[in-house]
Structure 1
Amino acid sequence: MRSLMLRLVGFTSAPVISALAPFILLPVISRIVGADGWANFSAGQSIGVLGMVAVMFGWGILGPVRVARSSTDRERAIILHDSLRSRLALACIALPAAGAAAYLISGTSYRAETVAIAVAMAAGGLTPAWFCIGRGDARGLMIFDAAPKVVAAILSLPFLLVWGNVLSYPIFLFALTVPAYAVHAWLYAHSRWRDGQTPGRLAAVLRQLAGTAAIDATGNAYGSTSIPIATAGLNSVDASAFASADRAYRIGTLLVVAVGNALQAWTLDPEAADARARQRFAVLVHMLVGLVGGAAIAMLGPWATAVVFGADVAAAPIPSALFGIAFVCISTATPLIRNLLIPAGRISVVLGSTVVAAVIGVTIMILGALSRSAEVVALGVVSSETSALLVLVVPAVMAYRRLGGAQTRE
């Protein structure tokens, strides 16, 4: 239990610190850019997340499982090397595409900053965070993922406060994170670890990841498009208020990710004395996080966003309540996907849930944008997360029942 608590502390602190870095800056940025620029900048961040997903191409889902189940440094180095080859190739396409999309969807207010943040965040797809999670390496997660983001925020803060230079943040973010990713690659994927192993064909690597990449893509089709859709359809005031509600929700989901990161390798440990007990514990922890976090977003969202981002762009009560419900669903679904269905090879089930969620959620979001209703767009977000959870529950229970003693002894 002591080792589990240390793991929770280590894997929770790194993402939280990473999240606090931009969180320190966002209140400053929101006040500099105003209502028009805040909606654009938030849309750029969301587009950057989509670009990051394209670069990752499923490694964030399947990668930690493969690394956690590998037994030697050589196996892990080969996994990381294959991922780097595929992600670098995709980055050459995804980064320019993210910049172009941000340029087209944003208004004239702070357009250059919107494009820059989209590109900088898309480069986050090169992160080794998933590899550190699979290895159970909280220290590496801190050094190579969280620390560069914190330093970027610290260095850009005086530029924001003194000169109002918003462009400084995405520039520092890109300039510090990418070299950190490169250092990690040299340390853990260098040929000295691979024993001269010939790398697999890039096309073959991409084909193996196609299923999980589709899950990631469809999941983010409804998970990261709400702000761009709201920005395109709502007036600047409503879009900015919606962006603040979404930002509070996204910051909360970082805690879900942190808890999932902390528990995944422990839950999937092939030497576990009782695999089912670990699965139950992971689900219960995520449900508790979802209930507490969802209540906080629903009840405190409007007040907190007014304090943090400014009263002019504060979240409205109804969208905040809907985002709170969505938070409960996404937190509950996380261990079902990461610890039960993906390890059991039920990729088609997870893909099916994300397709259903994307169709339902994006349809409702678009209807909300067309009707110029932030509440309906938020309803699209909660509908997508709820429908995904409902599709996942029964297959996850079946996967849990199949664990039994056989897996425990492996």
Structure 2
Amino acid sequence: MPNRLRTRLPRGYLRMRSGALRLLGFALSVSVLALASLVAIPAMIAASGDAAWGSIALGQVVGTVGGVAVGYGWGWFGPARVAQGGPTQRRQEYVESMVARGVLAPPVSLIAAIVACSISSNAPSFAAVGAVSATCMGLSASWYFVGMSKPYTMLLLDTLPRAAGTAFGILLMREGHSAVMGPLGMLVGMSVGVALSSAWILWETKRAGAGGCERHGITGILVANRQGIASALGSATYAAAPLAIVSVVAPGIQPAFALADRVKGLVVVATVPATTVLQGWVPRATGIARRRRADAALLSAAAFALLLGVGTFLAAPDLIKWLGAGAISLSWDVILLMSACVAVMFFQSVLERVALATFERLRVAVIGVACGSIIGLPLAGVLAHKLGTAGAMGGVLAGLLVCVTVELVTYRLDVGRTVLLRAGDKKGQPVHDDDKKRPHIQTLGVSNSTQEPEGYSRRL
């Protein structure tokens, strides 16, 4: 756009245009990876059958939890540090993350493979490969590009190599190789993406004038960067546990439940850009205005969740027919329960990552997930044994509703006092007792505080 025309345009329009372009860039990455994953499913089923694909899906679910452990919370607090830091700080952050995640990846991958093998009743080797592939996704550098607000660089260096690896695996399967080529192709694409991203990050920070990195021991790095891991790991574990439980108590319905679980996950992933926009909008306000923005975000999320659930219910039959390659089908009651899970999970994501994270109440998410797990997971196992796929999905939905109820009620009761505190800081009102002890928390490029509390040090 010419500079003369740019100066004549309202500043709000330029901000909106820039934000829309960034949203589009991040949405492109999500869409490309989701499409690659969707295309890979019928290819794997056609290559080795639904039972083999069910084992791979089980391994990927286990590996998703492993990937969260390998990522060690950098997807939560990393973007904010990158956004706030200079070239040296950005370089230091990324190098430390690669050191920590590189050390964690081998043992966590081994544990994930063993767990996947032990709970897979069909083709345990396929489950192990799926687990290792998904675990290594925790090495991704995507969080760095989120912090730098460079969606198109992420698309080029991280997303496209991963999609190309998946496409290569699909090509091999169509040439007669087994379904294991699917997760192996994803792993190769992931490795290429990490290499390209790392090379670019080191080059970019050096060009920007970054100095040398301080050397810290692995224990010190892990201790200093533990924020956000509890809530992230808890949510990932709850998302992965139902498929593992179904595989043990009702292995006959495992392929069908795995397909429903995969469709549910893909739809939820497709909503990530919307959550990201809210994460950047709500924390910019202060005091009462921040609470109003959070409430508006939750109200908007509730309305969108209803539309999302209806849309999923209407679109799911054709999607399932295509993904199942004619070998797997789902009844209408399963699709209805799955759509309800999608709606609740989207609202839960906004509640946790936007409302609770903004007001530094992520501990509430941990409590909510624990309550939901205590009720939902045993219920999913019992109902899966008695009612099949619909029963398992119903148990998952019950746990999600319990989790959201606990989080929402606690948010309404607890955050109101915090808003009064922060609105009255300039008037000399007393500090909330919990705020004196709460560690500094940063999530997805949004800083909840401009200063770190006394006694807290991220660096050793």
Same fold by TM-score greater than 0.5 = yes
Give runs of aligned pairs for residues 9-408 of structure 1, distance below 5 A: 9-68=24-83, 70-109=84-123, 111-188=124-201, 192=206, 195-210=211-226, 212-236=228-252, 238-269=253-284, 275=290, 279=294, 282-371=297-386, 373-397=388-412, 399=415, 402=419
1:106 positional shift? 1.9
Alignment CA distance shift 1:399-1:74 (3 Å): farther
Q: Flag the 1:408–1:101 CA change in 2: closer, same or farther, 3 A.
A: closer
Root-mean-square deviation (Å): 3.0
Alpha-carbon separation, structure 2, partners of 1:360 and 1:194: 50
Write the deviation string for residues 38-64 of structure 1: whole angstroms up to 9, x where unpaired: 321211121121211121122222323
Question: Which has the higher mean CA deviation after the structures are superposed, 76-85 or 87-96?
Answer: 76-85
Residue segments in structure 2 that go unaligned for 5+ positions in a row: 1-15, 426-446, 451-460
For 1:312 and 1:31, locate their aligned partners in 2 and report how far apart those are by CA, in whole Å.
Answer: 9
How many Å separate the matches in 1 of 2:238 and 2:162? 26
- Taking the aligned partners of 2:449 and 2:265, their CA distance within structure 1 comes to 39
Task: Please identify the structure whose Cα radius of gyration is greater.
Answer: 2
Give the fraction of aligned pairs with identical amino acids, expressed as a percent.
21
Farther off after superposition, 88-97 or 358-367: 358-367
SS in 2 for 1:166: coil
Q: How far does residue 123 in structure 1 lie from its aligned partner after superposition?
A: 0.4
Residue 104 of structure 1: how far off its partner (Å):
1.9
Q: Is the 8 A contact 1:32 1:164 kept in 2?
A: yes
- For residues 36 and 198 of structure 1, the distance between their equivalents in structure 2, rounded to whole angstroms, comes to 49
Q: Distance in 1 between matches of 2:193 and 2:448?
A: 37
Structure 2 residue matching 1:196: 3-state secondary structure: coil
Per the TM alignment, residue 278 of structure 1 is displaced from its structure 2 partner at its CA by: 5.4
Q: 1:257 to 1:54 in 2, by over 3 A?
A: same
SS of alignment partner, residue 311 of structure 1: coil
Normalising by structure 1, we get a TM-score of 0.88
Q: Deviations over 1:332-356 (max 9, x none)?
A: 1222222232243223212111211
For the residue of structure 2 that corresponds to 1:313, the secondary structure is: coil
Shift of the 409–385 alpha-carbon distance from structure 1 to 2, 3 Å rule, reads closer
Which structure's residues are more often helix, by fraction?
A: 1
Q: Secondary structure at the match of 2:302?
A: helix
In the aligned structure 2, how far is the partner of 1:202 from the partner of 1:341? 30
- Opposite residue 207 of structure 1, the aligned amino acid is V
Q: Give CA-to-partner distance per residue, 1:68-127, whole Å, 9 cap, x none.
A: 4x1423333333233222211211211111222222222344x43332122111100001
Contact 2:359–2:448 under 8 Å retained in 1: no
Q: Report the CA distance shift for 1:32/1:183 in structure 2 as closer, same or farther (over 3 A).
A: closer
Offset at residue 246 of structure 1 (A) = 1.0
- Return the offset for 1:280: 5.3
Superposed CA deviations along residues 349-370 of structure 1, whole A, max 9, x for unmatched, are 1211121122222222222344
Counterpart amino acid of 1:117? G
Report the CA distance shift for 1:82/1:280 in structure 2 as closer, same or farther (over 3 A).
farther
The whole-number CA distance in structure 2 between the counterparts of 1:395 and 1:58 is 24
Which letter maps to 2:94?
L
1-structure distance, mates of 2:99, 2:18: 34
Count of residue pairs the alignment pairs up: 406
Between the aligned partners of 1:394 and 1:72, the Cα distance in structure 2 is 39
Greater shift, 279-288 or 316-325, is seen at 279-288
Q: 2:322 is paired with a residue of what secondary structure?
A: helix
Whether contact under 8 Å (2:57, 2:130) holds in the other structure is no
Q: SS of 1:224's equivalent?
A: helix
Instruction: Assess if the C-alpha contact under 8 Å between 1:15 and 1:254 holds in 2.
Output: yes
SS of the aligned residue for 2:359 comes to: coil
TM-score normalized with structure 2 length: 0.79
For residues 242 and 311 of structure 2, the distance between their equivalents in structure 1, rounded to whole angstroms, comes to 21
Q: Does the 8 Å contact 1:44/1:114 carry over to 2?
A: yes
Structure 1, 40-49 or 286-295: larger mean CA deviation: 286-295
Residues 53 and 179 in structure 2, CA contact (< 8 A), matched pair in contact too: no
1:214 Cα shift? 1.8
SS of the equivalent of 1:310 reads coil
Report the alpha carbon displacement of residue 408 of structure 1 after superposing the two structures with TM.
11
Measure how far apart 1:291 and its partner are. Answer: 2.1
For each residue in 1:186-223, what CA deviation from the matched residue of structure 2 results, as whole angstroms up to 9, or x when unmatched?
43357846523424443243234445222122212221
- Amino acid corresponding to residue 316 of structure 1 in structure 2: S
For 1:342 and 1:201, the matched residues in 2 are separated by: 29
